[in-house]
Structure 1
């Protein structure tokens, strides 16, 4: 298993990239070593027991078991869960059983997967090397992750087709259309490509506003998986941190229509609201992240951020 899997770096001009790096991570209160080890032991125990529990649970009860499992995993990591539902529908989770829905959220770190699964079990589109990670790799295989090689643009139509087949089959699939992780204080544009699966199958889209908060209710960057981070670096930060909450806000569903760029814009408005996109290091620098690529501010001197235009067709 690979412990040192850093966030992917750009290998072609259309590949999504993020300016976020180590300097974005703002420390918060930490727990002691004994409690950290207890959390780790709890997570390992859950991972080892998950295949057994899944096999032993009747199919009719399996979704309920998996949702409880994800919520327990969040507690073991020290993360409280808060779900806010802005929809005006009596739906428990993202959708009724056997109803296809494309779940769309911004991407901050690996804990996003557990947070969304705690609302309702879903399949995920995730980076292909995730199956080799410790802990999450096992879960990825069991939850039938759809792998995506972001460095191989030619594989993108095949990924869209696989998502569409699952949606047509009445399954729930979660995607992170930014294509990479951001720190939680700034964010990237929602790339339109994966939205085509919803259009092709006339499947509704569920926008989700996801964020992490510290003990005072302020946005927290500790769970971010950015820059030169390895999985081990990020996991240690989360396990040691105190008083964090992951907040999931379910916004009204969007019907796909016929234009994937319009659908992406509508979902971005729902997911982002009126929040500005600000990079956490320089308070005076505001980033229009939709079509902008910026130098990682943790590299070199804290001079002006260099901007270069980055296309958004991915």
Structure 2
């Protein structure tokens, strides 16, 4: 319960301090609007006790589309704590109390998954964001999974690659980088199928009880793995892009789960100090 109170107080304090600044940044289109959510997520991960182990690095080349698996609402905090990004989320999230408002403050792109006729408009918005300098994260499975398996990647919104190139006069290629999130430790124990149910948020699991369970538990170890970024031009097939990224994410997730939590480095024992021989009078 103490951890829950600490998280709530920290979150409220950050909202009171950062929200007015973020609103101003959005209104005046200041670049700081990309950094403030990054600060928010970094502090929140530290307070919750999320320990992030990063393998590889994010591409610094723009425009950039990041294709990731999706296991939990924690993914937003983890990714946001590692790098400034913009997320793509289902439109229902915008209506959630508090979390919907926070998503809007993070400049989330909302997609109406049930209305296929809006896919083109969403892909164009993603393309516009990438061209303007935002790194966009797309949870390409289209939903969250149990965190152990990777579901087939959907390719519809990967078409944003073509929209970005069509709107840009300065770029002839878009970088697409696969990224894996694997929760490998919970409360100091390796995550197996039993403990995985405590971390992954999918199916019919209710958000609030799951959130409280996370916030009142021990530390969480997560491995974020960046795959090789690939440059694609207008001739690239979106289904091929999604398939290649899916294979890479599946391999990286499997490797991270097998490796488990990062091993703590063992400090070598100090060499014994020999006592000085007594002086002879």
TM-score by length of 1: 0.68
Q: 1:55 to 1:154 in 2, by over 3 A?
A: closer
Give the match for residue 7 of structure 2. 39
* Aligned partner of residue 126 in structure 1, secondary structure: strand
Structure 1 residue 84: Cα displacement: 1.6
1:245 paired with 2:221, answer: yes
Structure-2 residue corresponding to 1:117: 80
- Are the structure 2 counterparts of residues 151 and 83 from structure 1 closer, same or farther at C-alpha, using a change threshold of 3 Å? same
Corresponding pairs, count: 236
Does residue 254 (structure 1) correspond to residue 225 (structure 2)? The answer is no
Verify: 1:80 aligned to 2:51, yes or no.
yes
Partner of 2:123: helix, strand, or coil?
helix
CA deviation after TM superposition for structure 1 residue 51, in Å: 0.9
Asked which structure has the greater CA Rg, the reply is 2
1:42: Cα distance to partner?
Answer: 1.9
2:241 paired residue number: 263
1:218 aligns with 2:191: yes
Equivalent of residue 198 in structure 1, options 161, 164, 175:
161
Q: CA deviation at 1:274?
A: 6.8
SS in 1 for 2:231: coil
Higher helix share: 2
The CA distance in 1 between the partners of 2:207 and 2:91, in whole Å, is 14
Distance 1:35 1:124 in 2: 27
Of stretches 184-193 and 62-71 in structure 1, the one that deviates more from structure 2 is 62-71
Q: Distance in 2 between matches of 1:61 and 1:155?
A: 30
Alpha-carbon deviation of 1:224? 2.0
- Aligned pairs for 1:149-298 within 5 A: 149-200=112-163, 201=165, 202-214=173-185, 215-218=188-191, 220-257=196-233, 258-273=236-251
How far apart are 1:269 and its partner, in Å?
Answer: 1.7
User: 1:109, CA displacement in angstroms?
Assistant: 1.7
Q: Please state how far the C-alpha of 1:49 moved relative to its aligned partner.
A: 2.8
String of CA shifts for 1:164-216, please: whole Å, max 9, x gaps: 12222232111111111111012311111111112442311121111112223
Residues 145 and 129 of structure 1: is their aligned pair in 2 closer, same or farther, counting only changes over 3 Å? Answer: same
